[in-house]
Structure 1
Amino acid sequence: MKLRTKITLLSSVLVMTILLFVDVTVHLLFVKIATRNEREVLQNKWTEIIAETGSAMILKNAWGPELKDELSGDTILRVFDQQSRLLYEVSRQSRFKLGDIRFDPSQSSQLTDVQGHKILVIHLPVLSPEGNQEGALEIVEKWDALENNLNILDTILVTSTTGAMLLSLVGSTILANAILLPISSSIQTMQEIERSLKFKKIPARTHNQDELSQMTATFNRMMDRLEESFQSQQQFVSDASHELNTTLMIIEGYANMLRRWGTRDEDIYKESIESIYEETQRMRTMTQQLLTLASSQQKEPEPYERIELIGCCQQVIAHFKPVHDRQITIFTDEKEIWIDANLAKINQLLVILLDNALKYSSAPIEILLSTDEKDVHIRVKDYGIGIPVGEVKRVFESSC
């Protein structure tokens, strides 16, 4: 079942339950209030009649002719003695039987059903002039007005409840659509990312700060982090591939030197073996970095050490000499330049810059080292084709 259907059904059922509870409550309250009002009217009316007629006249059935004028066609009057024995009953034209109504002097009034009709029964004591109870008067009235009013009330409640339920169903559908609209947009964006394998953000609703907006903002931040991580991986793989290729070229150059002159020239033999060993160590370091990148995306601080920059540059230049017969010169006013940096990263930077200079130029290459109060500057200068002005700002972007 879709979430839209669940929201519509649950909200509709909740509203229907509330409406049914309200309908039942209104029905019961109406019956209670109407019964109380009718009881008070009848009690006040017959209490006055009893006081005017007197207990002796009532018990002897010596009512005047005006008694029947007080009785409607749906009212029966019954008189009981002190032992709750029926003495007599009076009615004008009763249209129902009292066989189902049992006299109970302990109840002052009750509303009951007889033959499908609402019957209101009221008990009043018959007191002597001294205040002693000598009997009881029971007024039984068929309450057609209550039945009619209840029918009208029930019709109104059923009609209004049915209309409210239909409106609730429509409102629940509109509510579900309004709630799920940003979720549907998020799903479409995610599916598009899955199909195109490109990073894309969900349009944010800046005017709203509800939970859906928070979910959208969280998703967009996650996309930013994933894109940044993906680009970092691409950059690292590109740089590592570039450096591995350069390292392999250096190893290949020294291997050729060993094959040609290594057996005859001991100095060349030692130099080649030492350089090959250093390059394999660099390859091991890069391999370890690749494994670290694959096992964890957490950025850990690179270890820094004290490095003499001029000697570092000379060492990198020495590695290129067997492969490229080109002049690479260091220009600096300093005898020594010490910096705190990561040696592997400095070597990687110099290898990339020199490899590009060797690849895209044929003239001698210059390395310019200078210092000021706070910084050390490394410049690699070649006389090649150069970089177009419009592409300078993209020089640090990955080429893969």
Structure 2
Amino acid sequence: MNLLVKEKEAKSKKKPVRLTLRVKWSVAVGLTIFLTFIIFAGIMYASFYNNLVNQEKQTTKQTRDLIVQRLSGFTNNLKSGDVMPLMMPEFYQNKDQNPLTSAFQDTIVSQLSRSDMAVQIYDRDEQQIFSSQQTKKVTFKSDNHAKLQIIRQNGKRLIVATRPIYAETNRQLIGYVFIVNYMDNVQRSTQMLRLQIFVLGVVAVLFSALIGYVIAYRLSKRVNVISDTIKEIDRSPESAARIPNFSGNDEINDLADQFNQMLDQVQRYIEQQKQFVGDVSHELRTPVAVIEGHLNLLNRWGKDDPEVLDESLKAASQEAERMNSLIEEMLQLTRAEQVESKNVQEITDVREVIMGVVDSIQMLHQDFSILSDIEMNADVSVRMTRNHLEQILIILLDNAVKYSTKRKEVHLSADTTPQEIHIVVQDFGMGISPESQQRIFDRFYRVDKARSRERGGNGLGLSIAYRLVKAYGGQLTVDSVEGSGSMFKVTLPTISESIPESTDHEED
């Protein structure tokens, strides 16, 4: 029963609606452009509407003032018979008309012929004596001052102009002029403008959405490639799949490059881990077998023989020490392979480190002569951890001491150029064959396995030094002649431009 309820609940839960990046980008771009268009269209519409209204106000005012100017020539109270001839269009069509009044007549005729403007004349008793058309629910109210105002009626804006008429001669009140401008032309123009804005707005939204979709498609296409690569690597962590190079130079390209670098680094770590496990299992097989053999020997009959017991315990102890040394060196090798020089901020004084390591090796091997020739100033430095530089020098000097034969002498020289430092370690031992020089830096490789085992070597020292030098952007090379000795040269980039200064340092 509970299972059925849980299944129903699981089915009832709807998956959240998934909006792709293309849709989100298209909607965002479309809304942004639409809102921008609406803002600018609103500003333009308001400006256009205000200009039209101001023009209508100016036209209404001019018409009112012209009528007042024309009718102010009368001296007594205005009468219909006096006003009618001056306000009717037929009067101005008379051929005997005075040409001096033509400008006035043209203005009056054009305004009286408008269907959206009502002109009314009242006498001083506020009795209507002329009307071009009846006003719609707008009543005349007398006032002793000229007025021009905008009122709202039935949702429409109207211009109402009123002005008293005074006789020019005696300045007596003889009537009033009352004009109502319904602004039908403004309404038609603004209605047409709104329709145009709406159409342009729809076109702008559709066009911007299309452009946004195209841009989002191109962006999401690259994102999908990255996603597919991640899925492939998720299915097979050891896959060599990488994000291809995209055209252009933007943040997605940077993301792809950084992701590829991360994948390369992870791949290196995986390979190092596999190689580490393989090397451990291979190299530990021999000491484990030796220890197991001695234990079996003791278990069978050797425990009763003190000489055999002592020999077996010593052999097992030596193999255990060798196992410990081998594991430590392998861990050092793994760490060396994981060094990222770009993350190192430590600055190391090369001259100081060289002199300190030479003194230490000389103290450990007092039967050897460690001769050093350091031609560099004290301010020559490298961007490198001090421990790693010491480790490289110790490996090279210890290797030179181990493989020296009759001539117990090791030379170390160091000099610098404006861009690099050079450190050379030379011994006069058994030398290395040309074939072995090609593999001398491979892990676990020994030139003479028997001698290496006698001297305690595991074949990892030079591999560690080589990988450390390489991690810091340098080079480690070898030049050797069999029977005459070997010369190892370390080259590292310097961060200081120093003039060489020759100093000799010798330790006997």
TM-score normalised by structure 2 residue count: 0.54
Counterpart for residue 37 of structure 2: 19
AA paired with 1:76? A
Rounded to whole Å, the distance in 2 between the matches of 1:166 and 1:104 is 55
Rounded to whole Å, the distance in 2 between the matches of 1:118 and 1:237 is 90
- Does structure 1 residue 203 correspond to structure 2 residue 244? yes
Counterpart for residue 291 of structure 2: 251
Q: CA 1:208–1:311 in structure 2 vs 1: closer, same or farther (change >3 Å)?
A: closer
- Does structure 1 residue 66 correspond to structure 2 residue 86? yes
Counterpart for residue 468 of structure 2: none
Rounded to whole Å, the distance in 1 between the matches of 2:264 and 2:304 is 57
AA paired with 2:273? Q
| 157-166 vs 57-66, which moves further | 57-66
Q: CA 1:57–1:374 in structure 2 vs 1: closer, same or farther (change >3 Å)?
A: same
1:5 to 14, 23, 47: 23
Q: Is the 8 A contact 1:263 1:269 kept in 2?
A: yes
Q: Is the 8 A contact 1:79 1:138 kept in 2?
A: yes
Is the partner of 1:183 in helix, strand or coil? helix
1:1-400 superposed matches below 5 A? 1-54=19-72, 60=78, 63-69=83-89, 70=108, 71-72=112-113, 73-77=115-119, 88=128, 90-94=130-134, 96-99=136-139, 109-115=148-154, 117-124=156-163, 126=165, 129=168, 137-197=177-237, 198-205=239-246, 207-259=247-299, 261=302, 263-264=304-305, 266=307, 268-285=308-325, 299=339, 304=391, 305=394, 333-334=405-406, 349=444, 354=449, 371-374=485-488
Identify unmatched segments of 5+ residues in structure 2: 1-18, 90-107, 340-384, 413-424, 426-440, 451-481, 490-508
AA paired with 2:244? P
Instruction: Tell me how many residue pairs correspond in the alignment.
Output: 339
AA paired with 1:277? S
Is the partner of 2:305 in helix, strand or coil? coil
Counterpart for residue 104 of structure 2: none
Rounded to whole Å, the distance in 2 between the matches of 1:131 and 1:15 is 65
Q: Is the 8 A contact 1:310 1:336 kept in 2?
A: no
Rounded to whole Å, the distance in 2 between the matches of 1:233 and 1:291 is 11
Rounded to whole Å, the distance in 2 between the matches of 1:245 and 1:130 is 134
Is the partner of 1:121 in helix, strand or coil? strand
Rounded to whole Å, the distance in 1 between the matches of 2:118 and 2:134 is 7
Offset from partner CA, 1:129-177 (integer Å, 9 cap, x none): 5998968744212222122222222222222222222222222222211
1:286: Cα distance to partner?
A: 5.3
Q: CA 1:285–1:103 in structure 2 vs 1: closer, same or farther (change >3 Å)?
A: farther
Offset from partner CA, 1:309-347 (integer Å, 9 cap, x none): 59968xxxxxxxxxxxxxxxxxx7546587999xxxx9x
Identify unmatched segments of 5+ residues in structure 1: 314-331, 356-367, 376-400
| 59-68 vs 288-297, which moves further | 288-297
1:202: Cα distance to partner?
A: 0.5
Is the partner of 1:97 in helix, strand or coil? coil
Q: CA 1:213–1:89 in structure 2 vs 1: closer, same or farther (change >3 Å)?
A: farther
Rounded to whole Å, the distance in 2 between the matches of 1:75 and 1:6 is 53
Q: Is the 8 A contact 2:147 2:161 kept in 1?
A: yes
AA paired with 2:248? N
Q: CA 1:127–1:7 in structure 2 vs 1: closer, same or farther (change >3 Å)?
A: farther
Q: CA 1:146–1:213 in structure 2 vs 1: closer, same or farther (change >3 Å)?
A: same
Offset from partner CA, 1:232-264 (integer Å, 9 cap, x none): 222222211211112212222333554555643
AA paired with 2:305? R
Rounded to whole Å, the distance in 2 between the matches of 1:292 and 1:52 is 112
Q: Is the 8 A contact 2:22 2:216 kept in 1?
A: yes
1:112: Cα distance to partner?
A: 3.8
Is the partner of 1:63 in helix, strand or coil? helix
1:215: Cα distance to partner?
A: 0.9
1:106: Cα distance to partner?
A: 8.6
1:43: Cα distance to partner?
A: 2.3
Rounded to whole Å, the distance in 1 between the matches of 2:287 and 2:172 is 123
Q: Is the 8 A contact 1:105 1:136 kept in 2?
A: no
1:188: Cα distance to partner?
A: 0.7
Q: CA 1:59–1:172 in structure 2 vs 1: closer, same or farther (change >3 Å)?
A: farther
Rounded to whole Å, the distance in 2 between the matches of 1:60 and 1:285 is 129
Percent identity over the alignment is 20
AA paired with 2:243? I
Q: CA 1:80–1:235 in structure 2 vs 1: closer, same or farther (change >3 Å)?
A: farther
Q: CA 1:3–1:296 in structure 2 vs 1: closer, same or farther (change >3 Å)?
A: farther
Q: CA 1:31–1:112 in structure 2 vs 1: closer, same or farther (change >3 Å)?
A: farther
AA paired with 2:444? L
Q: CA 1:247–1:64 in structure 2 vs 1: closer, same or farther (change >3 Å)?
A: same
AA paired with 1:203? P
Q: Is the 8 A contact 1:123 1:137 kept in 2?
A: yes
AA paired with 1:29? S
Q: CA 1:108–1:334 in structure 2 vs 1: closer, same or farther (change >3 Å)?
A: farther
1:92: Cα distance to partner?
A: 1.9
1:186: Cα distance to partner?
A: 0.4
Rounded to whole Å, the distance in 2 between the matches of 1:124 and 1:52 is 13
Rounded to whole Å, the distance in 2 between the matches of 1:102 and 1:247 is 122
Q: CA 1:146–1:308 in structure 2 vs 1: closer, same or farther (change >3 Å)?
A: closer
Q: CA 1:162–1:196 in structure 2 vs 1: closer, same or farther (change >3 Å)?
A: same
1:97: Cα distance to partner?
A: 2.4
Q: Is the 8 A contact 1:254 1:272 kept in 2?
A: yes
AA paired with 2:254? Q
Q: Is the 8 A contact 1:59 1:87 kept in 2?
A: no
| 134-143 vs 150-159, which moves further | 134-143
Rounded to whole Å, the distance in 2 between the matches of 1:289 and 1:95 is 108
Q: Is the 8 A contact 1:309 1:338 kept in 2?
A: no
Offset from partner CA, 1:116-135 (integer Å, 9 cap, x none): 55422234565665998968
Q: CA 1:59–1:194 in structure 2 vs 1: closer, same or farther (change >3 Å)?
A: farther
